[in-house]
Amino acid sequence: MLRRSLAALLLVLLGAAAALALHLATAKGDTMFAGKRPDYLGVKDGRLARPRSTPNCVSSQADPADAGHHIAPIAFKGSAHEAIAAARKAVESMPRASVIRHEGNYLYAEFKSKLMGYVDDVEFTHDATAGVLHVRSASRLGRRDYGVNRARVEDLRARIERRIEP
């Protein structure tokens, strides 16, 4: 009886794993791990959305005392147009990235993970007074990202600072 129950449970788990593998292999657009596009993104009073309370979000406008969420803004000498154009070029040079919105002083992009299709939202706005690009990068789903958002912003910073030269 116990053997039969374990065998049935094993078959159910294998079936679920096969269904998930099939879904991931055949999904053309968003996977079930993409989540819903947030409706609170954008610039309001010169600020990007606040960082989420979970550790899978970084923002240059977070409180500097919050080491888990704060990341330095990206220094940029030039106009807002040049800054956002450089950010867009950097985003478009990275794999699995899509620019969703580019309006004046604001850029919003999505990055998808390679295997599971998780989506992270990345935003930029230029602060002409401070001469910086503010950036926010956050996972839509889950709690942890194992440093992916922070590493992505640092990669974008390097690309923007060298103006995408190889």
Same domain, 25 and 93: no
| Positions in the chain short of pLDDT 50 | 18-29, 164-166
Tell me, what's the pLDDT at 12? 67
What is the per-residue DSSP string for the chain?
-HHHHHHHHHHHHHHHHHHHHHHHHH-SS--TTS-PPPSS-S-BTTBPPPPPSSSSEEETTS-TT-TTTB---EE--S-HHHHHHHHHHHHHTSTTEEEEEEETTEEEEEEE-TTT--EEEEEEEEETTTTEEEEEEEESSSS--TTHHHHHHHHHHHHHHTTT--
Q: Is residue 98 part of a domain?
A: yes
Tokens encoding 40: 């609170």
Query: Cα separation of 35 and 119, whole Å?
Result: 7
pLDDT tens digits, one per residue of 10-48: 676 765 554 444 444 444 445 556 678 998 999 999 999
The CATH number of whichever domain residue 106 belongs to comes to 3.30.310.80
Q: Which domain holds residue 70?
A: 31-161
Note whether residue 166 is domain-resident. Answer: no
Structure tokens at 43: 């610039």
pLDDT of residue 3: 80
pTM: 0.78
Cα–Cα distance, 55 to 64 (Å, whole number):
15
154 and 78, same structural domain? yes
Number of domains in the chain: 2
Provide the pLDDT for residue 164: 47
Q: Would 111 be classed as within a structural domain? A: yes
